[in-house]
A and B are shown apart, each in its own frame.
Chain A
Amino acid sequence: MNVVAALLAVIGMVIVVWLGVGVLKLYTLFGVVIPYAAFLTLVIGLIWRMVNWAKSPVPFKITTTCGQQKSLPWIKHSRLESPANNFEVVLRMALEVLAFRSLFRNLRADLRGRKLYFGSSKWLWLGAILFHWSFLIILLRHMRLFSYPVPGFIQTLDAVDSFFHIGLPHLYLTDVAILAGLTFLLLRRLVDAKVNYISHASDYFPLFLILGLVTSGMLMRYFLRVDIASVKELTLGLATLHPKVPKGIGVIFYVHVFFVSVLAAYFPFSKLVHMVGVFFSPTRNLPNDNRRVRHINPWWEGVPPKFLTYCEWQEKFKEQLESAGQPIDEDCYEKKES
C-alpha cells in the first residue's frame, strides 16, 4: 500500500508534466516558475528549519561516548569516538558525515535456538555511501550547466567520472553507482522484514522520486537526446536571473526539471532534512569534557534547586543521629538564630 502510493505519486508527476508541457505547452511554468519557486522553498525552508532547531537550547551535554574518555595521562583516549575538545569533535563529525562512521559499525543479529550471533553487516553502509557520494558528484557535475566559463574542477570531475569512455556519450560511473545504490536501498526496504515494517509511504516516495530523477536524466543523456545547447541556454538564464525558454527541448527534460523541483521543495519538510540535521545532533557534536568544562542550561541557570537541606534532614533524624553517635551539626541552629 505504502509502496504503491509512493510509486503512483511519482508516476502522477510524469503525467502532470506530460499534460502541462506536452499538451498545454506551459514551457515557462515548468521551465522557469516552478524551478524558481522550488529553489526558493528549499532555501527558505532549510533556513526556517535550522532556525527552528537552533531556537531550542541544548540543555545538557549528552555526548554518546563510543570510545575511551580522556582521563589519566597514561590511558590512550579515543579522539574520534570520545572527543575531548572541539577540534576532535570536528574530526568525529567529518568522519560521520563523509564516511558514515556509525553505519560502518553496523552489526547483524541472528538467533539460532538459544544462541545469539553477531556479524558485521556493511551492506547498508555500502548502499548509502554509493548513493550519497554519487548524488553529490552528479550535483557538482551539473554545475557546468549553470556556469560560464565552466570552472576547472568541474571539468576535471566530469572527465574522471567518465574516465572509462564507455559508449557515446561517455557513461558516467556515478550514474551506474547511484542506480545501484538506490536499487539496493529500495530492495532492502521491500525485502528486509524489519525495514519493511517500519517504512511509511514517505520513506518510499523520495526513493522513487530520486530514481525517477536519475532515470530521466540518464534517458536524456544516453537515449532520448535533447539539445544540450538549448538546455544550457535555459539553465544559464535561470542562474543569471535572466530566464528565457528556448524552443524545442524535449518533454523528458521538463520531467527531469520537475522531479528536481519537487525534490527541492519537499526537502525541508521531510526526513531528507537529515542532511542538515546531522550537524545539530547533540550526541555527536559535543565534546566529552563534561567534568572538565561546565555546560550552561539556559532554563536552569540562576534557578536554585528545591530539596531537603541537611539542616531540615538533621531535624528529622536527630534522635537516630544522636543514638548512633553521629555528629550533630551545631551550625544549623546558629543559622536559625541569626
Chain B
Amino acid sequence: MALPKRDELLKDVHYDRMPEKHWMDTKPEFRPGTYCYAGDPEVVKDLGLPNPRKWQPYDEDWKLPENWKEIVLNAIRDRMDRFRSFKLFMDICVRCGACADKCHFFLGTGDPKNMPVLRAELLRSVVKGEFTRSGKIFGRLAGARPLTYDVIKEWFYYYYQCTECRRCSVFCPYGIDTAEITILAREILHEIGVNIDWILKPVRFSAEIGNHIGLQPHTIQENIEFLLDDIEEITGVRPEVPINKKGAEILFVTPSADFFADPGIYTFMGYVLLFHYLGLDWTLSTYASEGGNFGFFTSHEMMRKLHAKIYHEAERLKVKWILGGECGHMWRVVHQYEDTMLGPAPKNLEVPKCPITGTVFEHAKSTKIVHICEFTANLIAHGKLNLDPSRNDHLVVTFHDSCNTSRGMGIFEEPRFILRNVCNNFYEMPENTIREKTFCCGSGSGLNTDEYMEMRMRGGFPRANAVEYVHEKHGVNHLACICAIDRAVLPPLMNYWVPGVSVGGVHELVGNALVIPGEKKRTTDLRFQPLKGVEEEENV
C-alpha cells in the first residue's frame, strides 16, 4: 500500500466539519493502511484463546462463533461486575465534548468516531440498548442501539485506533479514561476471536520464550557481546554484563528491544556503561528478559501471565531489588498493576536502596521496583557521576514524555533533570504538548506494525508537529524519550514528518556524557557519530 505524501495526508482533515449521516449509520471502511492484520490461527491456538481460524478484517464474513452475541453480552456483563471503572464510565459521560479534540487519532484523521467520547459511545450505546429498558424504548433518542455484526466490526476498527494513551482522561471533568474502555473492549473482542496478529505473536513469544521478539538465551548474550565490542571500540573500556547471576544485588529488567533494535541498543549501552562506572552488583535475566508486556494489550489475565516472570525470577536469583529500564507500558504495568496482580513482592526483596548514595527509595517500598531515571537522577543530584555534557553538543535535544510514564505514573522531572545534566542543548516542546498533555507516538498499545503505517503517521502527527516546531525554532535534531516503543516507532514518524531528527533513550545520552575512569579520548558518540569539534580537529 502506498503511503500518501506528507503534504497530502491531512488534506481532508477538518475538525469542524462533520458528516451528514448519523454516526450509527456509518460503517468503517477497511482500507489498507488503516487496520491491522488478524491473529494467525496457529498463534491463537497456541495461546489457548477462543475461535482460532483464518480470517482478515476486510473479509465480509469474520467467522464468528454461532453464539457470538451471547458471548459478547455475557462478557460485557462480566466486566461490569468486575470493574467499577467500566460501569461508571458507561453511566456518567455527559458528552460535553471536552475530550473531542484531544485524541491524536482524531487530530490526524478528523474521523468523528476517533473523538474519545464517541469511541466510548460505540460501547455505551450497546450497553444502553441491550441492558436498559429506557434504551430499548427510546432507542436512538437515548443514544441506544442493538448489538449487530457491524457493531463488532466497528469496535474492532476503532478500538484498534486507540493507543490507550489517556490524554482524553486528563481533560475529562470526571476522569473518564478511554484507555480503560479500550482495554476492556479488546478483552471482550478476544472472547469471540477478534484480535490482531502484531499483538498476539509477541504475546506468544513472551509466554513461551521470555521476550516479545523471541530472542533465545544465547542470542541475547551474543547481541550483548556485539554491543560490548562497540563500547570497547568507542571508549576503550569493556564492561561486564552479568547474566542470570544468583545472589546479585539488583535484577535489571528492560524491554527486549534494547538488546537488539536500533536505536534501543544505544540506550542499552548507556545502562551498561553506567553500571560499570558505579561498579554495581547487578544481573540480567535471559528468562525474565522482557519488560514490555504485550499481554496488557490483550487481556488482564494475559498481562498477569507475562509479568509474573519478573518477581518469580527475582525470587530465584535472590536479588535485593529490581531496577527497570526505559519503557512506557512496562512501567504502566509495573506502577499500576504489578503489586496488585502479583504482590506482595517475594520475601527476599528489600526496600530498594541505592548502594552508592544510600538513598532509600521509599516510594517503591511495596513493589521494590525502581525506574532507572529515578536511580540516575538521584546519583546526579548527589554528585556521584562525572559527566561531560559537551560530548552531546552535536545534538540539540528535546524530550518526549511517553503517555504511560507521564499519565500513568507521573514521572516528569527525573528524566528532565538527567537531560539538563548530560547535554547542553535542551529545549522543551510547546507547553500544551508535553508532560501530562503529551502526545502519543501514534503506534503504542501494539499498533506499531507496517500494514498500519498510514494510521501511524496520522496518529503521530500531533507529536511530530510539536517536534517540527522546536526543530524549526531551535534547530532540535534529537528526540529523547524513555520508552522502547517510542524508540521503535518515532524514527519512521520523524522521517515522514520532520526529517533530520534522530530518536534515542535518555540513557544513551548519559552513556555519551559519562566520563569513565581509564577510558580513551572519545571521538564518537555511542552511534559512531563524530562528536562536535572532532571532525574539525582531525581536518586541521
Binding site for B on A (CB under 8 A): 2, 5, 49, 52-72, 74-78, 81-82, 96, 100, 102-103, 105-111, 114-116, 118, 124, 128, 192-203, 269, 271, 273-274, 277-278, 280-284, 288-297, 299-300, 305-310, 313-314, 317, 320-321, 323-324, 326-327, 329, 331
Q: Are A326 and B286 in contact (CB under 8 A)?
A: yes
- Chain A CB within 8 A of B23 CB: yes
Q: Are B141 and A2 in contact (CB under 8 A)?
A: yes
Q: B216 — which chain A residues lie within 8 A by C-beta?
A: 317, 320
Known A-B contacts: A294-B343, A310-B313. Give 6 more (CB < 8 A): A52-B87, A271-B95, A280-B84, A292-B362, A324-B218, A324-B221
- Which 7 pairs across A and B sit closest by C-beta, in order of nearness? A69-B410, A65-B410, A277-B92, A283-B175, A324-B218, A200-B143, A201-B141
Q: Are B366 and A68 in contact (CB under 8 A)?
A: no
* A71-B374, A313-B287 known; A203 vs B175 contact (CB < 8 Å): no
Q: Are A66 and B407 in contact (CB under 8 A)?
A: yes
Q: Which of A57, A283, A294 contacts B169 (CB 8 A)?
A: A283
Q: Which of A69, A72, A289, A305 contacts B359 (CB 8 A)?
A: A72
- Of residues 333 through 376 on chain B, the ones whose CB sits less than 8 Å from some CB of chain A are 334-337, 339-344, 359, 361-367, 369, 374
Q: B208 — which chain A residues lie within 8 A by C-beta?
A: 308
- The 29 sampled A-B contact pairs (Cβ below 8 Å) are A53-B84, A54-B84, A57-B84, A58-B83, A61-B336, A63-B336, A71-B361, A71-B414, A75-B377, A75-B413, A81-B410, A96-B173, A100-B173, A103-B173, A114-B7, A194-B100, A198-B23, A280-B88, A282-B88, A291-B334, A292-B363, A293-B365, A295-B339, A305-B305, A314-B287, A320-B218, A321-B218, A321-B286, A327-B245
Q: B337 — which chain A residues lie within 8 A by C-beta?
A: 60
Q: Are A291 and B217 in contact (CB under 8 A)?
A: no
Q: Are A56 and B83 in contact (CB under 8 A)?
A: yes
Taking the closest CB of chain A, its distance from the CB of B95, in whole angstroms, is 5
* A102-B175, A203-B94, A306-B305 known; A115 vs B170 contact (CB < 8 Å): no
Taking the closest CB of chain A, its distance from the CB of B138, in whole angstroms, is 8
Q: A193 — which chain B residues lie within 8 A by C-beta?
A: 16-18
- Of residues 441 through 471 on chain B, the ones whose CB sits less than 8 Å from some CB of chain A are 461-462, 465-466
Q: Which of A114, A203, A292, A326 contacts B365 (CB 8 A)?
A: A292
* A194-B115, A282-B85, A294-B344 known; A75 vs B414 contact (CB < 8 Å): yes
CA distance A68 to B462 in the complex (A): 23
- Chain A CB within 8 A of B244 CB: yes
- Of residues 78 through 98 on chain B, the ones whose CB sits less than 8 Å from some CB of chain A are 80-88, 91-98
CA distance A49 to B141 in the complex (A): 22
Q: A68 — which chain B residues lie within 8 A by C-beta?
A: 410-413
Q: Are B141 and A289 in contact (CB under 8 A)?
A: no
Taking the closest CB of chain B, its distance from the CB of A146, in whole angstroms, is 28
CA distance A281 to B210 in the complex (A): 36
Q: Are B312 and A307 in contact (CB under 8 A)?
A: yes
* A53-B88, A58-B84, A68-B413 known; A278 vs B173 contact (CB < 8 Å): yes
The CB with the most chain A CB atoms within 10 A, among B166, B217, B362, is that of B217
* A62-B180, A193-B17, A310-B287 known; A107 vs B432 contact (CB < 8 Å): yes
CA distance A53 to B465 in the complex (A): 41
- Chain A CB within 8 A of B10 CB: yes
Q: How large is the interface on B (under 10, 10 to 19, 20 to 34, 35 or more residues)?
A: 35 or more
* A64-B177, A102-B170 known; A290 vs B336 contact (CB < 8 Å): yes
Taking the closest CB of chain B, its distance from the CB of A283, in whole angstroms, is 4
* A72-B374, A277-B88 known; A291 vs B366 contact (CB < 8 Å): yes
Q: B316 — which chain A residues lie within 8 A by C-beta?
A: 310, 329, 331
CA distance A77 to B97 in the complex (A): 30
Q: Which of B95, B170, B300 contacts A66 (CB 8 A)?
A: B170
* A56-B81, A60-B337 known; A69 vs B461 contact (CB < 8 Å): no
Q: Are B308 and A281 in contact (CB under 8 A)?
A: no
CA distance A77 to B87 in the complex (A): 31
- Of residues 192 through 216 on chain B, the ones whose CB sits less than 8 Å from some CB of chain A are 207-208, 210, 216
CA distance A107 to B410 in the complex (A): 21
CA distance A70 to B436 in the complex (A): 15
Which single residue of chain B is at the shortest CB-CB distance from A83? B410
Taking the closest CB of chain B, its distance from the CB of A181, in whole angstroms, is 13
Q: Are B107 and A291 in contact (CB under 8 A)?
A: no
- Chain A CB within 8 A of B511 CB: no
Q: B261 — which chain A residues lie within 8 A by C-beta?
A: none
CA distance A317 to B166 in the complex (A): 39
Binding site for A on B (CB under 8 A): 6-7, 10, 13-19, 23, 80-88, 91-98, 100-102, 107, 112, 115, 117-118, 121, 134, 138, 140-143, 166, 169-177, 180, 207-208, 210, 216-218, 221-222, 243-246, 286-287, 300, 304-306, 308-309, 312-313, 316, 334-337, 339-344, 359, 361-367, 369, 374, 377-378, 381, 406-414, 417, 430, 432-433, 436-437, 461-462, 465-466
Q: Are A277 and B91 in contact (CB under 8 A)?
A: yes
Q: Are A274 and B94 in contact (CB under 8 A)?
A: yes
Taking the closest CB of chain B, its distance from the CB of A259, in whole angstroms, is 19
Q: Are B410 and A67 in contact (CB under 8 A)?
A: yes
The CB with the most chain A CB atoms within 10 A, among B115, B118, B336, B366, is that of B336
The CB with the most chain A CB atoms within 10 A, among B92, B361, B378, B433, is that of B92
CA distance A72 to B16 in the complex (A): 44
Taking the closest CB of chain B, its distance from the CB of A200, in whole angstroms, is 4
Q: Are A291 and B414 in contact (CB under 8 A)?
A: no
CA distance A108 to B98 in the complex (A): 9
* A194-B18, A198-B115, A198-B117 known; A62 vs B410 contact (CB < 8 Å): no
Q: Are A202 and B92 in contact (CB under 8 A)?
A: no
Taking the closest CB of chain A, its distance from the CB of B288, in whole angstroms, is 8
* A194-B18, A278-B92, A326-B221 known; A109 vs B83 contact (CB < 8 Å): no
Q: Are A81 and B436 in contact (CB under 8 A)?
A: yes
Q: Are A66 and B365 in contact (CB under 8 A)?
A: no
Q: B169 — which chain A residues lie within 8 A by C-beta?
A: 64, 283
CA distance A282 to B304 in the complex (A): 21
Q: Are B85 and A62 in contact (CB under 8 A)?
A: yes
CA distance A35 to B534 in the complex (A): 85
CA distance A55 to B364 in the complex (A): 30
Q: A69 — which chain B residues lie within 8 A by C-beta?
A: 363, 409-412
CA distance A49 to B121 in the complex (A): 20
Q: Are A271 and B93 in contact (CB under 8 A)?
A: yes
Q: Are B143 and A106 in contact (CB under 8 A)?
A: no
Q: Which of A96, A107, A277 contacts B102 (CB 8 A)?
A: A107
Q: Are A327 and B244 in contact (CB under 8 A)?
A: yes
Q: B286 — which chain A residues lie within 8 A by C-beta?
A: 317, 321, 326
Q: Are A200 and B141 in contact (CB under 8 A)?
A: yes
CA distance A66 to B91 in the complex (A): 24
Q: Which of A102, A103, A273, A290 contacts B335 (CB 8 A)?
A: A290
Taking the closest CB of chain B, its distance from the CB of A317, in whole angstroms, is 5
* A64-B177, A64-B407, A65-B410 known; A106 vs B339 contact (CB < 8 Å): no
CA distance A72 to B287 in the complex (A): 31
Taking the closest CB of chain B, its distance from the CB of A191, in whole angstroms, is 10
Q: A289 — which chain B residues lie within 8 A by C-beta?
A: 363
Q: Are A109 and B305 in contact (CB under 8 A)?
A: no
